[in-house]
Amino acid sequence: MNLNILLVSSSQRENSKSFEVSKYLQTNILNTMEGIKSSILDLSQYPFLLDHYGTGRDDQISLANNKDEVLAQLYACDAVVVIVPEWGGMIPPTLVNLLLLSANGSANGLPLGHKPAFAIGVSASGGGSNPISLLKGYAAKNSHLTWLPLHAIIQNVGDFLVQTWAPTLDNRYSQVQSRLLVGLKSLIIYSKQLASIRNELLELSKKHPYGQ
């Protein structure tokens, strides 16, 4: 079974550390796995996504194109990795709008419904835990995605990214590498198992798509 793993780089800033983490995961983990295809959804490249609920812009064509391109990637994936920076204890607003866009009424379906998701918090310093709590607290309500019980937090991300890939060593950076490796391996197992029952689950989700 070939699987398509979508890495969502959730920063609105171009050339962000979240995007570097996405490439890091591809290079050190996903590209080494047989039968796994991965792609990066860089939210900084979709500025009109912030207009999903309207900010007064007149360029409706660009807004529609951004939505269509993003939804196509959400529908095409088998599992999602959300790499999210902590901004003042919160998540970037474009990620909030992405989750709103993935709801049944906006997406004409449930593009992430019953697909496994692995959350990775990113911090330039010692933070990164708040995005995990926020995402797991509400992000599945209308998207109907399935969060893994596992997650990872990359603190001091600038230092982390220059470390040698050595997930078996007993040091702080290697332990985070090991969490990323175990998380992505788990994500793939979940994805394979959920694939056979996803359509049946989606039919049930359509009965109550807004999660009350």
Q: Are 159 and 135 in contact (CB under 8 A)?
A: no
pLDDT at residue 65, as a whole number: 86
pLDDT value at position 172?
94
Per-residue pLDDT at 57: 61
Q: What CA–CA distance (Å, rounded) separates 183 from 185? A: 6
Query: CB under 8 Å to 47, separation ≥6 — which residues?
Result: 12, 66
What's the pLDDT at 8? 98
Q: How far apart are CA 110 and CA 61, in angstroms?
A: 23
Supply 188's token pair. Answer: 């793939």
Q: What is the pLDDT of residue 55?
A: 56
* Residues of the chain scoring pLDDT < 70: 51-58, 211-212
pLDDT in the model for residue 204: 94
pTM of the model: 0.95
- Residue 62 CA to residue 41 CA, distance in Å, equals 17
Distance (Å, whole) CA 99 – CA 143 = 7
Write down the pLDDT at residue 61.
81
Residues 168, 60: Cα–Cα separation, whole Å = 50
Check residue 74 and give its pLDDT: 98
